[in-house]
């Protein structure tokens, strides 16, 4: 009888967490679960992961969020689990996203944008829970024109896992031959996992890629040993072509996997480039109005 091919499990190298919460503007209570400033090559092509909420907001007529601010050199990916967010930017992109929706904003050569709770959500109040992921761009693409992708929940493929173990929403990349709608500059998988079972699941991920598992609700046991709890991120070694997840009833997690961009990183606030000189130029360009205005 034919035997199943043996899988090579990526080893879990560390579990990253941050219990300190800070406010972005007056609308987003955030825990930064990982950042390039400390982890650099271990998380490339990803740069930063902010987990906002979950937090209840009272009804208000005030605007809650963060006003105009610039970005250059990377992309922001906002995934909403609860609540609604409105976005506008100087490239003409914008819209409202709610539960299950994704906003993929390519800042690239530079833009100015703002993010607020939607007016309807602010007036009725409720639970806000969302993630914002920063994705790096290779040097050759950092000065590309800005771009905006609004990805609705209805546009994201949902794949059932075997044996009623849960579902996978494919935001970017591929899962089991099914491609997600997000267009990316480098090979990236972003999978929104909704897990419901206790049996181990082997997920195929490319050998040589950086792989991260962020648990937003519940907990998971990886590779039969370590446990990743709520608001923690597991970082895996590059070698290996699978990760094994088990003991994960009623768990929500994001799996991030990408081909590393092994280039220098220079960052300051809202700008991420390759050299300090490029950062200084970004500041000058923003101050002189070259990143545009929101109209």
Closest CA to 187 of 173, 201, 202: 173
Tokens at 179, concatenated? 């491609």
What's CA 57's distance to the chain center, in Å? 23
Cα distance between residue 6 and residue 107, in whole Å = 42
Q: Is 115 annotated as a binding residue?
A: yes
Residue 31 forms beta bridges with which residues?
A: 51
Q: Is 113 annotated as a binding residue?
A: yes
Cα distance between residue 94 and residue 224, in whole Å = 43
Is the backbone of residue 57 left (phi > 0), alpha (psi -120 to 50) or beta? beta
Residue 118 forms beta bridges with which residues?
A: none
Q: How many angstroms separate the first and last alpha carbons of the chain?
A: 67
Q: How many CB atoms lie within 10 A of CB 108?
A: 21
Q: Is 126 exposed, middle or buried (CB count within 10 Å of its CB: 0-12, 13-18, 19+)?
A: middle
Task: With residue 71 as reference, give the H or E element that holds it.
Answer: strand 65-71
Q: Is 71 annotated as a binding residue?
A: yes
Feature table: binding site for Fe cation = 69, 71, 113, 115
Binding-site members are: 69, 71, 113, 115
């Amino acid at each position: 009888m034919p035997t199943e091919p043996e899988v090579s499990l990526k080893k879990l190298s560390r579990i990253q967490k941050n219990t300190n919460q800070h406010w972005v503007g007056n609308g987003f209570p955030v825990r930064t679960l990982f950042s390039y400033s400390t982890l650099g090559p271990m998380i490339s092509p990803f740069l930063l992961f902010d987990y906002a909420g979950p937090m209840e907001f009272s009804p208000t007529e005030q605007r809650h969020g963060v006003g105009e601010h610039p970005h250059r050199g990377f992309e922001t990916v906002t995934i909403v689990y609860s609540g609604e967010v409105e976005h506008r930017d100087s490239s003409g992109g914008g819209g409202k996203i709610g539960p299950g929706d994704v906003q993929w904003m390519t800042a690239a050569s530079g833009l100015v944008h703002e993010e607020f709770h939607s007016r309807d959500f602010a007036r009725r109040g409720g639970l806000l829970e969302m993630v914002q992921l920063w994705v790096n761009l290779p040097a050759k693409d950092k000065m590309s024109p800005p771009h905006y992708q609004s990805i609705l929940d209805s546009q994201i493929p949902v794949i059932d896992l075997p044996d009623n173990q849960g579902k996978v929403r494919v935001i970017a990349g591929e899962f089991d031959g099914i491609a997600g709608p997000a267009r990316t500059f480098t090979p990236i998988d972003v999978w929104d996992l909704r897990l419901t079972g206790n049996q181990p699941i082997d997920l195929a991920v490319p050998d040589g890629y950086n792989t991260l598992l962020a648990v937003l609700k519940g907990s998971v046991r990886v590779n039969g040993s370590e446990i990743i709890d709520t608001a923690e991120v597991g970082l895996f070694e590059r070698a290996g072509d699978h990760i094994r997840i088990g003991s994960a009833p009623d768990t929500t997690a994001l799996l991030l996997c990408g081909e590393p961009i092994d280039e220098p990183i220079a960052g300051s606030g809202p700008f991420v480039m390759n050299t300090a000189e490029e950062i200084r130029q970004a500041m000058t360009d923003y101050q002189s109005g070259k990143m545009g205005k929101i109209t």
